[in-house]
Structure 1
């Protein structure tokens, strides 16, 4: 009897300890832990009565989904999901009343901190006349102290007939402030005379390799600097503070989530001719700091300047590719040419509106080859910017040679933009397994200028060949190039489906229009594969992160026909992040 009494007392004591533990800890966490010992886990969230497009070929559509600890437990019909993942105490059920759900969008090409910074600067995107251009600069100057820089960008001279802005447009209204306003493509910018004077750019300054200082008929610089010529001025612009860049990340993340973007592939604040250290500063001072502070809202895959490939290799050896659930280390990026809008994309034939100009090779080819060889040999993923037809072929040649030399492996070489391709080049993407990282919104911006700069036949034959690339078994990944274009996947999806530029009544190269299925995949599972993220992201499949978007429409047929919808809610890791 004494022994039984002793055992009873011990049991009471143990129960008291357990009770105290529950009182002083997170009750739901412990309850979930105890229930996990059962045969079926308990879901935090069950999404039901939805039209779920999974981007998973094994089960393209479902009506329900269960989520636990930020990952997807099960996708299917409601009865099967609930039977195997019984809702428990604290499980939230989300009845979407037939609304469409898609995986969280992955924007395959952004300059994320740049975008956040530009949101607080002079916004010139969409302006279609000189007077409004000048008015916005004048408005910005009112709030500036003498001597402080006026910064902004996004202008596109094609929207007002093609005339390029010059310093004389704004000199009279900015006599005491240096000004730098980048073109929408980032490969050209306008400086006022005060900025040129600060940087020491005069009629005697020679063009740097890979760049052009545009001048008047009398030989004076007119304020426009193209590609590496920007390096003459950009170092004179004060570097933004760490706090400003952290605030920019918050602004950029909120905008991305509002647009349904849950992951971005960030190519940094690098501009041809500027310090390559900028991307590394942003990694340590902004991304890593925000992550360790528990303040990240969006997942990022980071690419760094190719010149720093050994630095990235050292970092990966210490942290691995997956730094955390928020930060992935992608690879390195190089540049082959400039842009169409700045007449610096590299072509086989000259520009129609500039008959002696074939564009620019902005990185010496031998150097680009050697860096690609070394980066690939070290196991790093390589992405190279190429827009003109000749630039794309040169990079395809580089990739073919490097792949042959370094041997077979799953390397997923990327070409960023791949805008203009001569016949036969699309097939090489598929044959070589090259990722075409493209931006549908650029075709809307470029349609008129491409015809003007290349001629109707060339432009029609080789511009934005999305369907041809898919038909050649190329990997197609969609992005925005924000802040060059708006970060808006649903708008880009519609652009890829319809290809109707502003002011046009019919599609530009209608044979290259995509289906909704292909366009969605290019922003989800294909975008994930393009950056080796497909084990965690890109589809609503069991085991993957529960990143998904609820759309405004409940009609798949209408969505497929018109490509029109809006974002109602964005979930990251099963938690509602927007609104």
Structure 2
């Protein structure tokens, strides 16, 4: 009898399990509704609402459907028509340097020598305890001939050394006290990459470029580990206020990686960090093995990874250290600077790119001049042929000049153009244009050319080697090729501008694709990580000239609110 009851009960249970039932909507921890969600899905690019459970998106669709997922514990945000976009992925950044630079004099807004000097002086007066006066952000266009002088600084600060990096990080401006401490005189020769800029009489002018900057920077007071950690935390707060949820560092050391590891262990890492180890002419097999061990250690970690390396192949256009196919238009008889010089011996660069490709690293090569871009493509092609590797998603960084014949090779060899729209802000390019010349201008910052050849654009800022970290400023430049106040009319090289959707995808999906994470971030779809930003206006509908005026109201990373603007008027409950 008991056996019969058990058999009947089992049969009844199985029968009921096959009967149709009303499916319960999953419970959400956070819902956003009554808005415009840019999903990044080409078939359905916009949704009205989105639901989050823990650190992932579980639904995008209608507000009515999302509201069914709420419980008494669900946090609710009525977007009131606001636009939500995937979290920005700054795919080329120097995050520790930028964070530390926030503690120094900021010259990015200075348009004249007087403004630059007064900014430095104001910082010096505010910090009388500092043994060195430091800063960054001066622009070549602020000074006659693009070259600041020590005399400008000497006029206001004589008793303390001054060291100010250019906005692009490739030059430094110092006073006589700094030159004196470094032992730099008219007799000092520098044979490395870069130069001690000297005047017609052979005297140091106070400007140093590229590796020559280290002649002075090595005397700067060391920064403690605690100071670095504190600076990174401040930098992460700033990044969150701009909607940035992922960064890919474009240089770095093992010591720097350990800082982010400590923040991760303490639960203080509020953005996803991808490290790239700096390489140099002394990089050897032992270094590759060490880097490989770290790459493997962080494999699969969604917050911290270390699977890339960085090469510096040339410098910048303004100081004639980027390597060009033809001489600079304003080179005159400047000898070795007529075309620029490689930062590496090419045979060694090719050898190391092949070795790192074989070891499974993603590679970034800084190449601004068209000759450097050409050689970087050659090296990647050789590495892939030698190792029979495909789909490595190596990158070339900056690409401010590129020959049309080389543009086609990016897609051919699956190389990603990693570019920074902020560097093409027309307010900063006067010295750059003089060096490049009219004939080469159509190929400058060629985002549209890259897209026409089916390359996958990857966008970033190069912070602090730029005038602004804000991705919305970068989007404005990419779409308009104008400054935020509309200069020049019609845009600078307007044939290279791209659509808003193309630019936004490059700042989100493009970065995720470059790090093989395009299936978990860069879009707002079910199963993707909950990284997103709520914007103050719908940039898809507003006048493109007003994109740069857009503010971030809310930033969520990994399902966690990491920034909320005061007075953002979001109906949160």
Q: TM-score, normalised by structure 1?
A: 0.87
1:54 aligns with 2:36: no
How do 1:290-305 residues align onto structure 2 when only pairs under 5 Å count? Answer: 290-305=263-278
For residues 391 and 451 of structure 2, the distance between their equivalents in structure 1, rounded to whole angstroms, comes to 19
For residues 243 and 229 of structure 2, the distance between their equivalents in structure 1, rounded to whole angstroms, comes to 21
1:533 aligns with 2:535: no
SS in 1 for 2:429: helix
For residues 359 and 445 of structure 2, the distance between their equivalents in structure 1, rounded to whole angstroms, comes to 32
1:530-557: per-residue Cα shift (whole Å, max 9, x none)?
1222232111121111111111124732
Residue in 1 that maps onto 2:439: 457
1:171 aligns with 2:154: yes
* Gap change, CA 1:229 and 1:561, over 3 Å in 2: closer
* Gap change, CA 1:449 and 1:291, over 3 Å in 2: same
For residues 495 and 146 of structure 2, the distance between their equivalents in structure 1, rounded to whole angstroms, comes to 32
**1:549 paired residue among 507, 516, 533:** 533
Give how far 1:81 is off: 4.1
**2:108 paired residue among 125, 129, 132:** 125
**1:282 paired residue among 248, 256, 268:** 256
1:320 aligns with 2:320: no
Residue in 1 that maps onto 2:325: 348
Give how far 1:427 is off: 0.8
1:492 aligns with 2:474: yes
Instruction: Tell me if the contact between 1:321 and 1:328 (Cα under 8 Å) persists in the aligned partners.
Output: yes
SS in 2 for 1:390: helix
1:212-258: per-residue Cα shift (whole Å, max 9, x none)?
11112222222211111122222221221112111111121111111
1:546-574: per-residue Cα shift (whole Å, max 9, x none)?
11111112473226675353211111122
* Gap change, CA 1:447 and 1:145, over 3 Å in 2: closer
Instruction: Tell me if the contact between 2:298 and 2:304 (Cα under 8 Å) persists in the aligned partners.
Output: no
* Gap change, CA 1:320 and 1:56, over 3 Å in 2: same
For residues 447 and 131 of structure 1, the distance between their equivalents in structure 2, rounded to whole angstroms, comes to 20
SS in 2 for 1:537: coil
1:402 aligns with 2:376: no
Instruction: Tell me if the contact between 1:309 and 1:332 (Cα under 8 Å) persists in the aligned partners.
Output: no
**1:334 paired residue among 311, 323, 334:** 311
**1:230 paired residue among 213, 234, 237:** 213
Give how far 1:454 is off: 1.7
Residue in 2 that maps onto 1:576: 561
Structure 2 residues not aligned, in runs of 5+: 1-22, 565-573
1:332-375: per-residue Cα shift (whole Å, max 9, x none)?
00011001122211111112222242112112211211111111
Instruction: Tell me if the contact between 1:553 and 1:559 (Cα under 8 Å) persists in the aligned partners.
Output: no
Instruction: Tell me if the contact between 2:158 and 2:177 (Cα under 8 Å) persists in the aligned partners.
Output: yes
For residues 366 and 468 of structure 1, the distance between their equivalents in structure 2, rounded to whole angstroms, comes to 30
For residues 281 and 95 of structure 1, the distance between their equivalents in structure 2, rounded to whole angstroms, comes to 43
How do 1:385-400 residues align onto structure 2 when only pairs under 5 Å count? Answer: 385-400=366-381
For residues 256 and 436 of structure 2, the distance between their equivalents in structure 1, rounded to whole angstroms, comes to 38
* Gap change, CA 1:67 and 1:403, over 3 Å in 2: same
Instruction: Tell me if the contact between 1:447 and 1:508 (Cα under 8 Å) persists in the aligned partners.
Output: no
How do 1:24-423 residues align onto structure 2 when only pairs under 5 Å count? Answer: 41-81=26-66, 86-144=69-127, 148-268=131-251, 279-284=253-258, 286-306=259-279, 307=283, 308-317=287-296, 319-323=297-301, 325-355=302-332, 356=334, 357-423=338-404
For residues 578 and 559 of structure 1, the distance between their equivalents in structure 2, rounded to whole angstroms, comes to 26
Instruction: Tell me if the contact between 1:322 and 1:329 (Cα under 8 Å) persists in the aligned partners.
Output: no
Residue in 1 that maps onto 2:419: 438
Residue in 2 that maps onto 1:9: none
Residue in 2 that maps onto 1:34: none
Residue in 2 that maps onto 1:8: none
Residue in 2 that maps onto 1:563: 547
1:180-206: per-residue Cα shift (whole Å, max 9, x none)?
111111111112222222222222222
Instruction: Tell me if the contact between 2:82 and 2:537 (Cα under 8 Å) persists in the aligned partners.
Output: yes
Residue in 1 that maps onto 2:13: none
SS in 2 for 1:333: strand
SS in 2 for 1:563: helix
Instruction: Tell me if the contact between 1:146 and 1:177 (Cα under 8 Å) persists in the aligned partners.
Output: no
* Gap change, CA 1:205 and 1:322, over 3 Å in 2: farther
RMSD: 2.0
1:510 aligns with 2:484: no
1:509-543: per-residue Cα shift (whole Å, max 9, x none)?
11111111101100111121012222321111211
SS in 2 for 1:570: strand
1:473-499: per-residue Cα shift (whole Å, max 9, x none)?
111011111112211111111110000
* Gap change, CA 1:545 and 1:226, over 3 Å in 2: same
Structure 1 residues not aligned, in runs of 5+: 1-37, 271-278
Give how far 1:388 is off: 0.6
* Gap change, CA 1:126 and 1:147, over 3 Å in 2: closer
Residue in 1 that maps onto 2:567: none
Give how far 1:386 is off: 0.5
1:473 aligns with 2:450: no
Instruction: Tell me if the contact between 1:147 and 1:176 (Cα under 8 Å) persists in the aligned partners.
Output: no
Q: TM-score, normalised by structure 2?
A: 0.88
Give how far 1:163 is off: 4.1
* Gap change, CA 1:309 and 1:453, over 3 Å in 2: same
Q: Which moved more, 1:406-415 or 1:532-541?
A: 532-541
Q: Which moved more, 1:130-139 or 1:110-119?
A: 130-139
SS in 1 for 2:382: helix
SS in 2 for 1:468: helix
